[in-house]
Copies of this chain bind each other. A is one copy, B any other.
């Protein structure tokens, strides 16, 4: 749990940006936004004026919020008529996170705080949170070590003839025993993920809604992502891609396994994935432009003859090769076209060059890195090589 100094540093940075933007305060309602600034995710609203101390107003549980939070002023959630006193009329422009705030909530706050101008501060909050503190990097290194330890055990329980869902169950069991926390938070609308995926052969190459390279077949049309009941055969690529969530902070990693040998084109694609990852990890320095890194990766894939297979099912390919991680799986920045922004030191990014071969399977690698002046620091310490069993 972040201490008071940690949270206060974050609040000061936000307040500076609010002032620069002519915004009089931020009203945070979404749990993980509150957690970042107040060290609690109890059901509440956090008011951070551009100037002055924050105020946490708690629906449930007040006693737990008081025990956890670093904020000094903690009160029960006010009734509607008291809000205009608490957030006085001098606060005219108020920031909200439009990317996650349902319309019903927005209308509620619009009603209890009349005659204000609301503005979207989603992008600002995501930008601020993308750069990790020393304390946060330590949390993420811890998550990386824990998750890597589970990956290291895979050869002990992966067997040919088991179902994808059995492999998932074995992995998840060991992760939970280590304290893997539960839900994987995603910010993007319409995205959802359980813990990760263990998929093999042609079922791994199924197309899907998920904004990633590999979806898997899943267990039903209601849960069309991750492991299915398909049997894991010899001589097919077995991809294990899991998140590690500990103390709120997550890392993301992928390794490839095979009983016997990969089909030659899949082996070749895996080697290309390693090269792309190496290239990008070396280039993960402050100032590097996100879209340039995607272009470089994409060009390497095309040059190797795998352009149509890069980052998804041909024709439905994802248009990124890396994504920020931290408290959420889909943080900033994204290594993708359109993201013409420079990397900042201590941003944390999962790099995941992957290839999909319909009817055959998938190949790829993923590690989480911190942006550093000497290139990316790998936070998921485990060899990248194909594990032949």
Contact = CB atoms under 8 A, between A and B. Distances in A.
A313 B224 contact: no
Given A101-B102, A177-B169, A222 B248 contact: yes
A173 B181 contact: no
Provide the main secondary structure of the chain A interface: loop
Contacts of A79: none
Interface string A97-116: 01111111111000000000
A125 to B, nearest CB: 13
Interface stretch (A47-55, A60-68, A231-239, A266-274): A60-68
Question: Copies per complex?
Answer: 2
Contacts of A177: 165-166, 169
Interface stretch (A36-44, A254-262, A338-346): A36-44
Contacts of A35: 221-222
A78 interface: no
A211 interface: yes
A87 interface: no
A213 to B, nearest CB: 12
A8 interface: no
Contact of A229 (B100, B179, B225): B179
A190 interface: yes
Interface stretch (A201-209, A299-307, A371-379): A201-209
Interface string A137-178: 000000000000000000000000000011011101100110
